[in-house]
Amino acid sequence: MNAARAINHHADHPGFAGVTGVLCGLVFLLVGRAKAKMAADIAQVSSSDHVVDVGCGPGTAARVAARRAARVTGVDPSSTMLRIARLVTPKRAPVTWSEGTAETLPVADGSATVLWALATVHHWQDVDEAVAEARRVLAPGGRLIAIERQSPDGATGLASHGWTRQQADAFGALCRNTGFDDVSVAERGNGRKAVWVVCGKRR
C-alpha cells in the first residue's frame, strides 16, 4: 500500500521570481481561466461579496470575481506575480493586491465572504495554520473553495502538482476539524481537465 501523500506535498517549491517567475506568470494567464470561472460559479459571486484569492498569481480568478462586481483581495507570496497582476488589471477594477501567504493573510478578521485557493494548496507551507487563517478571515457562513487538478497515485514531475483522492479527502477532513460545515469533496471535469473541488462554510 502506498504511504499517504501530504496535502501540501510541494511545500518545498522555490516560488516564482525573476525571469522564470515572469514566464510562469504568462503561462498562468493562459491556463487558469477554467478554474477561475468554476470557482466563481460555485461561489455564485456577486456584488455583495468580498473574495480573497489565496495564491492569486497573475490575478486571473481575481479579475473574474471583479467582473461580477465583487470586491477582491488578491494575495500571493511572489512580488513578480503581483507585478504582472497589476499590469494586466484595469485600474478601475475593485481589486487590492497584497503580498502574503496562506498562513498570514493581510485581511481583517471576518471580513471576507468567499476565500478560494486554485491549484495552490499543495504548495502551502503549513496547511493546518492556513485553514485556521481562512476561518479567521471569513465571516460566519463564508465559503471556502479549494480546487486542485486530479493527480494519479505515484505521479511524479508536473503530473504530481495536484491531489489524489486521498489528499482531497484529507483536506476535507481538516476543514471539518477546523470549524467548517457542509464540507464536500467532489470531482469535476474529466481526462486531463479533471479536478477535485473541496467546499465548506465557516461556522
Sign of CA dihedral 29, 107, 72, 177: positive
Domain count, the chain: 1
Residue 1 within a domain: no
Question: Does a structural domain hold residue 25?
Answer: no
Is residue 22 in some structural domain?
no
In a domain, 10, yes or no: no
Asked if residue 188 belongs to a domain, the reply is yes
Which residue ranges in the chain fall short of pLDDT 70?
1-3, 21
Q: Residue 25's pLDDT is what?
A: 77
* 85 Cβ neighbours under 8 A, 6+ residues apart: 56, 57, 58, 59, 62, 74, 76, 97
Tell me the residue range of the domain where 50 lies: 34-101+110-202
Q: Residue 26: inside a domain, yes or no? A: no
Residue 38 is assigned to a structural domain of this protein: yes
**CATH number, domain at 178?**
3.40.50.150
pLDDT of residue 1: 40
18 located within any domain: no
**Dihedral of the alpha carbons of 52, 56, 62, 65, in degrees to the nearest 10:** -60
144, 116 Cβ separation under 8 angstroms: yes
